[in-house]
């Protein structure tokens, strides 16, 4: 048992060993070695007006700023410099909005540049988050030819989806989204659906209807993620009900052959010992969001900026970047008595941010506790067959 690591020698300080495995060193933080993903926040412009969208808040603050190919090219060059210096061999690039397909020509040129610029034997994963309504055959063929993953937002059948996802003219959007997915599938493009769970679609029948729709369309993967607003406002009992629904729709979709994930997947992945990252999401130091002016953010729901991509080396030395990179439940006061701190690792940063403006004042604990409990009961009842592979959360699969 000693040789296999089940027990430790009395001479080893167990806490120090755990800390070493969990918390990145100052050198790795400040060199940018943690970086593995970039989110290009291309625009806050959108052809939809979804009521719970973070971009709507940005639009209300003033005129939209937009990225373009030449800015993106400059930013990507800076990213590759850091990756090369740290001997990295892979990068995930996510195009985000608003609706990034409004600027498809610029994005297409950027993807072509990234694939041309990347070093040999370097893996680049390209993801595009979209509402799907502007997808055409040309986009889909390019996506299929260049392994671009389209993650399309769809919340349920028409009477559910259209409650909160509407056009500027207050028209429903379901059929335009469905058509976009059909075009992607027809052209051989990998398409996944991301469902935001909130009051409008949280009943299990609505979620099951979405699974059936995606099955007919030929979608590859599904992600079910509660809106951060729901986790901010929910009572403990509401969180327990939500966790039960997440598990039940996960199992329902897995039994129908889908790869299934959500922004909870790291918690359950660590429970199953098949997900080794000791962070709740990539926004904790592994992914940088880049705005049109080059300013850096950690999360689409948190407006805090910390430096500019033009001076990327300085970004990694900012106190805020160090704070998010070291964020872990084991070292948060509110998690000190929780047996699940090693699984949820402090939970989603945006929830405590919107409750107290402090990402380390952990909340929504009842949701994560109930989620783990539901999955443990599910595994005991159903075995590991349906739980062996979890898709990713918001960015892709």
What's the pLDDT tens digit per position in 367-384? 999 999 999 999 999 988
pLDDT of 59: 44
User: Dihedral of the CA atoms 247, 252, 255, 257 (nearest 10)?
Assistant: -100
> What pLDDT was estimated at residue 395?
47
Q: What pTM did the predictor assign?
A: 0.91
* 344-365: burial string, b at 16+ Cβ within 10 Å, e else: bbbbbbbbbbbeeeebbebbbb
More confident residue, 5 or 61: 5
Using an 8 Å Cβ cutoff, are 191 and 152 in contact?
yes
Q: Is the pLDDT of residue 330 over 80?
A: no
Phi, then psi, of 123 in degrees rounded to 5: -95, 125
Whether 228 contacts 196, CB under 8 Å: no
pLDDT above 90 (res 16) = no
pLDDT of 387: 84
Contact between 238 and 212 under an 8 Å Cβ cutoff? The reply is no
Helix (H) or strand (E) holding 232: helix 228-233
DSSP 388: S
pLDDT tens digits for range 102-138: 999 999 999 999 999 998 889 999 999 999 999 999 9
Does the structure show a pLDDT above 60 at 258? yes
Rounded distance between C-alpha atoms, residue 155 and residue 152, angstroms: 10
User: Is a pLDDT exceeding 70 seen at residue 55?
Assistant: no
* CA nearest to 323, candidates 349, 290, 300, 342: 349
Contact 41, 300 (CB under 8 A): yes
Which residues neighbour 87 within 8 Å (Cβ) at sequence distance 6 or greater? none
pLDDT value of residue 22? 72
Average pLDDT, the chain: 89
Per residue in 333-368, pLDDT (tens digit) is 888 888 888 788 889 999 999 889 999 988 899 999
Q: Which residue has the tokens 């000791």?
A: 278
Stretch 166-186: mean pLDDT: 96
CA distances in angstroms from 364 to 37, 149, 235, 344, listed in the order given: 26, 31, 9, 11
């Amino acid at each position: 048992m000693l040789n296999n690591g089940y027990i430790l020698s009395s001479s080893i300080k167990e806490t120090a060993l755990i800390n070493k495995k969990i918390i990145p060193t100052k050198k790795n933080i400040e060199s940018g070695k943690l970086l593995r993903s970039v989110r290009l926040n291309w625009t806050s412009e959108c052809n939809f007006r979804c009521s719970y969208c973070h971009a709507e808040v940005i639009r209300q603050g003033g005129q939209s700023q937009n990225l373009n190919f030449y800015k993106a090219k400059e930013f990507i060059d800076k990213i590759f410099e850091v990756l090369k210096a740290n001997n990295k061999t892979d990068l995930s690039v996510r195009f985000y909005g608003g609706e990034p397909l409004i600027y498809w020509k610029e994005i297409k040129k950027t993807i072509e540049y990234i694939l041309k610029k990347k070093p040999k034997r370097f893996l680049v994963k390209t993801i595009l988050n979209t509402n799907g309504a502007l997808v055409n055959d040309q986009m889909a063929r390019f996506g299929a030819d260049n392994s671009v993953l389209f993650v399309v937002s769809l919340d349920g059948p028409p009477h559910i989806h259209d409650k909160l996802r509407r056009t500027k003219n207050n028209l429903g959007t379901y059929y335009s989204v469905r058509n976009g997915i059909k075009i992607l599938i027809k052209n051989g493009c990998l398409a996944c659906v991301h469902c935001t769970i909130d009051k409008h679609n949280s009943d299990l029948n609505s979620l099951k209807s979405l699974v059936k729709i995606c099955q007919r369309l030929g979608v590859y993967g599904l992600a079910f993620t509660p809106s951060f607003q729901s986790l901010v406002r929910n009572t403990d009992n509401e969180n327990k009900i939500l966790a039960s629904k997440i598990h039940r729709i996960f199992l329902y979709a897995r039994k129908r052959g889908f790869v299934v994930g959500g922004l909870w997947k790291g918690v359950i992945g660590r429970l199953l010992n098949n997900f080794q990252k000791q962070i709740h999401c990539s926004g904790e130091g592994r992914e940088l969001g880049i705005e049109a002016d080059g300013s850096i953010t950690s999360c689409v729901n948190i407006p805090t900026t910390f430096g500019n991509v033009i001076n990327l080396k300085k970004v990694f030395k900012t106190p805020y970047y160090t704070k998010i990179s070291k964020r872990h439940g084991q070292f948060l006061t509110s998690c000190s008595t929780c047996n699940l701190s090693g699984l949820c690792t402090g939970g989603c940063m945006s929830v405590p941010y919107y409750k107290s403006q402090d990402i380390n004042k952990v909340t929504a604990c009842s949701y994560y506790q109930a989620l783990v409990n539901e999955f443990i009961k599910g595994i005991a009842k159903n075995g590991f067959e349906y739980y062996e592979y979890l898709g990713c959360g918001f960015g892709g699969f």
